[in-house]
Structure 1
Amino acid sequence: MEESFLQPVTTLLGAGDVFEWSATAATSFALIAAAEIGDKSQLVCMTLASRHRPMPVMLGALAAFAVLNTLAVVFGVAIASWLPAYVVGTIVAILFATFGVHALRTTDDGDDEELVEKSGHGIFFTTFALLTVAEFGDKTQLAVVALSSTHAPAAVWLGATVALAATSALGILAGRTILQRIPLVLLHRLSGAFFLLLALVAAWQAYAAYSGV
């Protein structure tokens, strides 16, 4: 009975040693951070922080990312429990390959559109609402779903949330002047290469699960 009660907790935390857990968190951090530099969530934080105190913007961003990543992790765990391992691996490989090709084909900052600030009683809720709407179903959330379906979900959640918090803080503190000196196209290329590498790993895992290697 006790083991049955603790099973959901064990599933979310993920099995494996500390090194594997840390590697998963680091991989999630690197992947999400590379994908989010110059993306719309960072631009939202830049825009809001230029008009308001930075702390409520940062707290609103953290709350939004925590909620979105929690939903993504729970969905990823559900997919992993419903589908065979080789099907999950194949889906993950296709998703990552699609993200990688899209990033490699990026020629400019397509998310650099004018952002209209919503009215509200607090900038915290404005930031939370804007980022929740902007990031729901975005490539980074889908990446968290994919990663958590094949790796320790808690490690994926931690790495992704810290990465999104870091990119948001960079946008709030550094602003456009710093990011304009960074070749965003190069960052997108690196992100695309990273996605394609993970797609190959996921494809191999799917093949191994199907053939019993």
Structure 2
Amino acid sequence: MEILSSYGAVATFLLIFVAEFGDKSQLVCMTLAAKYRARPVLFGAISAFAILNVIAVLFGASFANFIDQRYLSIIAIVLFALFAISSWRDAHHDDDNDEGKLKVGKHISMSAFTLIFAAEMGDKTQLAVATLSTTQPPLMVWISATLALATTCVIGVIVGKKLLNRISEQLLSKMAALLFATFAVITAITTFA
């Protein structure tokens, strides 16, 4: 922890960035951005991360004592399953109607927010932020952690947009369905095992 005292902001950023890089939230951002506009995905995901970090910083390491992790995991399981079903249905609806895509785009920020918020509540990254806030200035921890999570999200969105140029939307929807279903199963196994 001594190194954190000297280089708190940088150490917090690096710790959270490395912990979250390649994690489910980055993959969620990548998957959503491959199919929908980047701006609403980024807005929803980064808003969720910012609020999650506020919660973590405010409650510190004791936050986990207030909310049963099983309830949070069950919410995440349900959301992942719903997104899997939605993505699978999208793959099997040959819908060239741009109005439908615009309508979905209006709600994708809320979908990204809800999915990230439920999936990451009580996650290792949030617990790391809570722990860091017990020994470091809370505002510095919040800023550094939020910037780290936003950075992983932006990277996920950029990669997701590149995929869209190389993979058909139908295949992408099937891949998203499989990804969300996998997250639901993994979350269920870790929750109930």
TM-score, normalization by structure 1? 0.53
Q: Contact 2:32–2:160 at 8 Å: present in 1 too?
A: no
Pick closer, same or farther for the CA change 1:176–1:54 going to 2, 3 Å. closer
Cα separation, 1, equivalents of 2:21 and 2:162: 14
Amino acid at match of 1:59: F
Residue 58 of structure 1 corresponds to 42
The residue number in structure 2 matching 1:137 is 122
Q: Which moved more, 1:48-57 or 1:120-129?
A: 120-129
Q: Report the residue type matching 2:18 in the other structure.
A: A
Q: Distance in 2 between matches of 1:117 and 1:130?
A: 14
> Residues 21 and 155 of structure 1 are in contact (CA less than 8 Å); yes or no, is this contact kept in structure 2?
no
Residue pair 2:61, 2:127 contacting (<8 A) in 1 also: no
Aligned: 1:116 with 2:62: no
Structure 1 residue identity aligned to 2:52: L
CA RMSD of superposed structures (Å): 2.9
**Amino acid in structure 2 at the alignment position of 1:128:** F
**Pairing of 1:61-140 with structure 2 (within 5 A):** 61-76=45-60, 116=84, 122-140=107-125
2:21 counterpart (33, 37, 52): 37
Segments of 4+ moved more than 3 angstroms: 117-121, 175-178
Q: 1:24 aligns with which of 1, 4, 8?
A: 8
Match of 1:153 among 127, 135, 138: 138
Cα 1:169/1:22, change in 2 over 3 Å? farther
**Helix, strand or coil: the match of 1:149?**
coil
- Alpha-carbon spacing, 1:175–1:51, altered in 2? closer, same or farther (3 Å): closer
Instruction: Give the Cα separation in 2 of the matches to 1:166 and 1:152.
Output: 21
Q: Any conservation in 2 of the 1:60–1:125 contact (CA below 8 Å)?
A: yes
How many residue pairs align between the two structures?
Answer: 126
Could you tell me which runs of 5 or more consecutive residues in structure 1 were left unpaired when the two chains were aligned.
1-19, 80-112, 179-213
**What amino acid does structure 1 have at the position aligned with 2:40?**
P
Q: Contact 2:52 / 2:126 at 8 angstroms: preserved in 1?
A: yes
Larger helix percent: 2
2:140 & 2:14 partners in 1: Cα distance?
Answer: 13
Are the equivalent residues in 2 in contact too, given 1:46–1:171 (CA < 8 A)? Answer: yes
Task: State whether structure 2 residue 153 is matched by structure 1 residue 168.
Answer: yes
Larger Rg over CA atoms:
1
Residues 154-213 of structure 1: CA distance to partner in whole angstroms, max 9, x if unpaired? Answer: 1110110000000010011024989xxxxxxxxxxxxxxxxxxxxxxxxxxxxxxxxxxx
> How far apart in 2 are the matches of 1:123 and 1:117?
15
Give the TM-score normalised by the residue count of structure 2.
0.58
Q: State the shift of 1:26 in Å.
A: 1.0
